[in-house]
C-alpha cells in the first residue's frame, strides 16, 4: 500500500461559542495554511469535511472560503468517529492514486444533532448517550469490582492533563470528590464523568510519500488502519464491559503496521465517559481485562501523560466531527515532540482510538515518525 503522511495541522480552541459551522471549519483550515506556508493550496485535490451538522455542501463551501478548487469534495458522517473515518477516506484517495494531497477538516457546534440518537430506543427513553454510558458503568463496576471513586480518576486525570492543552475546553482541575459529588445524571453517572458537547474544529493535510517528503522533514506516517462496525443499536453489543469493535479495529491496525500494542508509546483513547477509558485500554490489549483502572491510576499518580495527553474527550470537550482529527493532531505533535507541557518522553509509535455510539463502531490508527 502506498505510504500516506500527515504534513500539516491546524487546531483551534474548543469552546462554547455559537459560531456558525462554516466559521468553525474556516478557522482551523485557515490556521493550518498560516502555520504551513509550504503547503501549496493549488496542489490540494480533495477536501473532506467531517461533521454531524445538518448543513449541506460544506466541502465546496470550505473550499471556496480557503481558495481551493479540488477534484474530490464531500462531507463524511459517522457520529463520533466521523473524524477518523474522514482520515481513512483521505488515506484511501491518496493511496489509490486518485489524489495527491487532501485537506481533512472536522467541525461541530455545541448543539450538534449527532448527540441525540433519535432512532435507537435501546438507548433509553431520551435516546441520549448517557444511557449506554450508564449501563456500561454499572456492568463494568460490577464485573471487575470497581468503585465510582475508581472511575472518577479517569476524569481527574484527564482534566488535569487538559490544563497543559491551551485548546482544551476544561480550564480547571477536579478531585475525586468533585467528580462523585457533581450532578447525578443517572445512578451510575455523574456530570464530570462525561465529555461535554462544544464547538470546535481541527484540520490536517495528508499527502503522498513523495509530496510529504518535499513539504516537511518531519512527516508523520499513518502506518496502521483498523476499523470495525459490529452493529448500530446498543442492544446488539456482545458485552457490556468490553468493546468488541475496538478490539477488532486495534488488531487490524497493529497488524497492518506490523507492531504490537506494547510498542505503543502514546495513545489517544475515546473517553466519551470515564468508563470508556479503562474499557478501551483493556479491549485493545494495553492491559488485561479488569486491570484498566490500575493502569489509569498508575499513570495518574506518576504524572505520565501517555494516555490522552491532550486531556481526552473529557478534558478537551467533544465536538463530534472534530474529535478524531484533534486526537490525531495530538499524536502528530507528540511524535514531532512539539506537545510542550504535555510531551511524553521521545515517543516513536502513537495510536488513535475513536469510536461511536456505545462502541458499536471503532477506528484505530497507528502513527509513526
Go through the chain and tell me how many residues it has: 369
**What is the spatial distance between Cα 47 and Cα 50, in angstroms, rounded to a whole number?**
10
* Residue 104 grid cell: 481533512
> Residue 136 in contact with residue 271, Cβ under 8 Å?
no
Q: How far apart are CB 86 and a copy of itself at their closest, in Å?
A: 8
**Whole-number Å distance between alpha carbons of 369 and 221:** 6
State the minimum distance, in angstroms, from the CB of residue 53 to a copy of itself.
10
CB of 288 to a copy of itself, least distance (A): 26
Interface ranges with a copy of itself (CB under 8 A)? 1-2, 22, 47, 52, 54-57, 59-61, 63-64, 69-79, 82, 85, 88-89, 91-93, 95-98, 113-114, 117-119, 225-233, 236, 249, 252, 356-357, 360-361
Find all residues with CB under 8 Å of 120, minimum gap 6, and list them.
127, 232, 233, 234, 357
Terminal CA-CA length for the chain: 17
Reading the block at residue 319, the C-alpha cell is 465536538
List the Cα angle 115/184/79 in 5-degree steps.
15
Bridge-based pairing of strands 266-268 and 349-356 is: parallel
Q: Among residues 156 and 249, whose Cβ is nearest to a copy of itself?
A: 249
Q: Which is nearer to a copy of itself, 47 or 276 (CB)?
A: 47
Are 222 and 365 contacting, i.e. CB atoms less than 8 angstroms apart?
yes
Q: Which residue, 73 or 276, is less far from a copy of itself as judged by CB?
A: 73
| For a copy of itself, the closer CB: 82 or 165 | 82
Report, in Å, the least distance between residue 61 CB and a copy of itself. 4
CB of 302 to a copy of itself, least distance (A): 36
| Nearest distance, CB of residue 76 and a copy of itself, angstroms | 5
Distances in Å between the Cα of 108 and the Cα atoms of 47, 51, 58, 201, 309 are: 17, 6, 12, 7, 22
* Complex with a copy of itself: residue 156 or 320, whichever CB lies closer: 320
Pick the closer one to a copy of itself by CB: 82 or 274: 82
Instruction: Please name which of 24, 47, 61, 58 lies closest in space to residue 319, comparing C-alpha atoms.
Output: 24
**Residue 239: CB minimum distance to a copy of itself, A:** 15
- Closer to a copy of itself at the Cβ: 179 or 357? 357
Amino acid at each position: 500500500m502506498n505510504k500516506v503522511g500527515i504534513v500539516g495541522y491546524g487546531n483551534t480552541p474548543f469552546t462554547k461559542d455559537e459560531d456558525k459551522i462554516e466559521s468553525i471549519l474556516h478557522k482551523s483550515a485557515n490556521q493550518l495554511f498560516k502555520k504551513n506556508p509550504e503547503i501549496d493550496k493549488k496542489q490540494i485535490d480533495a477536501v473532506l469535511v467531517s461533521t454531524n451538522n445538518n448543513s449541506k455542501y460544506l466541502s465546496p463551501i470550505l473550499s471556496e472560503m480557503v481558495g481551493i478548487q479540488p477534484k474530490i469534495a464531500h462531507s463524511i458522517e459517522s457520529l463520533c468517529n466521523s473524524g477518523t473515518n474522514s482520515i481513512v477516506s483521505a488515506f484511501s484517495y491518496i493511496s489509490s492514486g486518485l489524489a495527491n494531497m487532501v485537506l481533512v477538516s472536522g467541525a461541530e457546534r455545541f448543539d450538534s444533532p449527532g448527540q441525540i440518537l433519535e432512532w435507537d430506543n435501546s438507548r433509553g427513553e431520551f435516546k441520549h448517550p448517557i444511557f449506554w454510558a450508564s449501563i456500561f458503568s454499572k456492568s463494568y463496576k460490577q464485573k471487575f469490582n470497581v468503585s465510582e471513586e475508581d472511575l472518577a480518576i479517569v476524569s481527574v486525570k484527564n482534566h488535569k492533563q487538559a490544563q497543559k492543552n491551551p485548546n482544551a475546553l476544561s480550564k480547571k482541575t477536579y478531585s475525586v470528590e468533585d467528580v462523585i459529588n457533581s450532578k447525578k445524571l443517572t445512578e451510575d453517572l455523574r456530570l464530570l464523568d462525561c465529555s461535554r458537547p462544544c464547538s470546535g474544529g481541527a484540520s490536517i493535510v495528508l499527502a503522498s510519500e513523495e509530496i510529504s517528503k518535499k513539504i516537511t522533514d518531519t512527516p508523520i506516517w499513518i502506518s496502521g488502519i483498523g476499523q470495525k462496525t459490529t452493529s448500530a443499536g446498543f442492544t446488539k453489543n456482545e458485552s457490556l464491559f468490553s468493546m468488541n469493535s475496538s478490539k477488532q479495529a486495534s488488531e487490524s491496525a497493529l497488524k497492518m503496521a506490523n507492531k504490537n500494542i506494547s510498542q505503543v508509546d502514546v495513545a489517544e483513547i475515546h473517553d466519551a465517559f470515564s468508563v470508556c477509558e479503562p474499557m478501551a485500554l483493556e479491549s485493545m490489549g494495553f492491559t488485561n481485562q479488569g486491570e484498566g483502572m490500575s493502569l489509569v491510576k498508575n499513570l495518574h499518580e506518576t504524572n505520565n501523560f501517555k494516555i490522552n495527553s491532550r486531556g481526552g474527550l473529557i478534558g478537551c470537550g467533544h465536538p463530534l466531527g472534530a474529535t478524531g482529527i484533534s486526537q490525531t493532531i495530538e499524536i502528530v505533535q507528540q511524535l514531532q515532540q512539539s506537545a510542550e507541557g504535555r510531551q511524553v518522553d521521545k515517543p516513536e509509535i502513537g495510536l488513535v482510538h475513536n469510536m461511536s455510539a456505545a462502541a458499536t463502531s471503532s477506528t484505530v490508527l497507528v502513527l509513526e515518525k
